[in-house]
Chains A and B, each alone.
Chain A
């Protein structure tokens, strides 16, 4: 059963409306793009769409309660929800430094979750 999917190309402000006909995982046709980048975008979006996920993790004894993190590389789009579950399970000890690995090999993807900002340790506060 062929399936039709409509995409908006994100490569430039033109934002071509691209129509893709799919038969399961096989692409039958791609229409509506105006340049090669549009074709490549449509192909990738229909076969293996990926996204970089950015969020925050809880921090213990830091000057701020959360630290910003990201997936080091884009991960398959279907894993975003599970990725968020992993991130929300984390609690790291301050200090957090930019580039610190927070989760290794996220969900077996081979991609790490890393810190994208610094959260220094809070001094002079009673750890509660």
Chain B
């Protein structure tokens, strides 16, 4: 059986950043396994700009961002296998994969980094009633058709869901000559970035219909239209508001799901809220020596954050392989999502792994709130508190905690991340 120090599963932005960092930190033997025919992951179809403002301090398109990391992988001579699909990961850190040149093969790794990314929620996951005509796509599939294969999915379009990919595609299809009739969002707010609402919808006078959803699709061979209705506070459609909108294309931008089939098979504990592995502050999963980063751990809004998180995973894997700063796994602080918080990453902190000066906790709030404070609390002791004029579930929040303060927390105690108000709700 082939032996490799570090196997990185996935050659997108997370996998590349993790592999590069691990090699920089002294791991000689790194191998990236990638399912597609090139490195870059989803960035390969992201021709739009807005990437890299935080990480590189300049605005790049998705492909340009990917190219910088692909160059690093090449410069550091990190080997990778393309068109190679990982079939199974064992808890003993064996990786079974298949490709057309080697067939099925198994690699024994000292450490594994999970960087498989996420996939889109589909119509099946939404249960929209109606017929099964052609013309219904996830926004990401349509993006691939237009940007990589150069053909248009349709001429008149309704988009369900106001996630960033849906907003980006509203502009893209408009520029290519399609009529985008509306973007419907079930919630009273968009989950997309404000920049995208302004530059992708407002610039082209595309209406964003909040509190609206698609209740039926029509058409036998090809989509002929959809029925759109307003929803009440319980997100139930109001029948009197139903309206037929003729269109030949429906795009779904209704959420992303981390791809964790492999993690589950390896016996890795998953967080039911993030749908990703439970990780500690070093991005290590419940299985020692297996790390996770990027959208497989939790869905990010900015690739810049993915790169940073993945470098942390790469560095942690390097330390594990080289036997530096490997913590006793029994002493843990539980990080809990408290009032107004949907989830946190990491979900736990290993007390003996506090070798860095600070620990960053990433989290999302559960609703839109104004004039709140975001706090990290242990018992009655507030470790950090930050004021925010407005927070929304669409934008990931961060609190940075001093390791020195965390060291004083007893193992087994809870660190609660919570939203505090001064009487004024949302």
Contact = CB atoms under 8 A, between A and B. Distances in A.
Given A8-B198, A116-B64, 20 more contacts: A8-B197, A10-B198, A12-B194, A13-B390, A13-B394, A13-B395, A14-B389, A14-B390, A51-B203, A52-B49, A55-B47, A56-B146, A64-B149, A66-B147, A66-B149, A69-B47, A84-B176, A117-B47, A117-B64, A117-B67
B59 interface: yes
Interface of A: 7-10, 12-15, 34, 51-56, 58, 64-66, 68-70, 77, 80, 84, 98, 116-118
Contacts of B48: 54
Contacts of A118: 67
Contacts of B199: 10, 51
Nearest to A81: B175
B134 interface: no
Interface residues of B, number: 29
B300 to A, nearest CB: 15
A62 to B, nearest CB: 10
Closest 3 CB pairs of A and B: A66-B150, A68-B47, A117-B63
Interface in B380-397: 389-392, 394-395
Contacts of A117: 44, 47, 63-64, 67
A52 B149 CA distance: 22
Nearest to A41: B198
B49 A54 contact: yes
Contacts of A54: 47-49, 61
Given A8-B198, A116-B47, A117-B47, A55 B175 contact: yes
Contacts of B198: 7-8, 10
B385 to A, nearest CB: 18
Interface in B192-241: 194-195, 197-199, 202-203
Nearest to A55: B175
A65 B149 contact: yes
Contacts of A70: 47, 49, 61
Given A68-B63, A98-B63, A10 B194 contact: yes
Contacts of A58: 150
A12 B146 CA distance: 30
B104 interface: no
**Most interface-central of B47, B391, B394 (chain A CB within 10 A):** B47
B6 to A, nearest CB: 28
A36 to B, nearest CB: 15
Contacts of B76: none
**Most interface-central of A7, A12, A56, A117 (chain B CB within 10 A):** A117
Nearest to B59: A52
Interface string B180-199: 00000000000000110111
Contact of A84 (B67, B175, B194, B391): B175
Contacts of A10: 194-195, 198-199
Contacts of A13: 194, 390-392, 394-395
Contacts of B63: 68, 98, 116-117
A6 to B, nearest CB: 10
B302 to A, nearest CB: 12
B128 interface: no
A65 B49 CA distance: 21
A7 B198 CA distance: 8
A39 to B, nearest CB: 16
B163 to A, nearest CB: 16
A77 B198 CA distance: 13
Nearest to B397: A13
A30 B295 CA distance: 40
A46 to B, nearest CB: 14
A19 B237 CA distance: 33
A8 B198 CA distance: 7
B140 to A, nearest CB: 16
A124 B47 CA distance: 28
B389 A34 contact: yes
A64 B391 contact: no
B147 A68 contact: yes
Contacts of B322: none
A68 B389 contact: no
Given A55-B47, A64-B149, A65-B149, A116 B61 contact: yes
**Most interface-central of A10, A64, A68 (chain B CB within 10 A):** A68
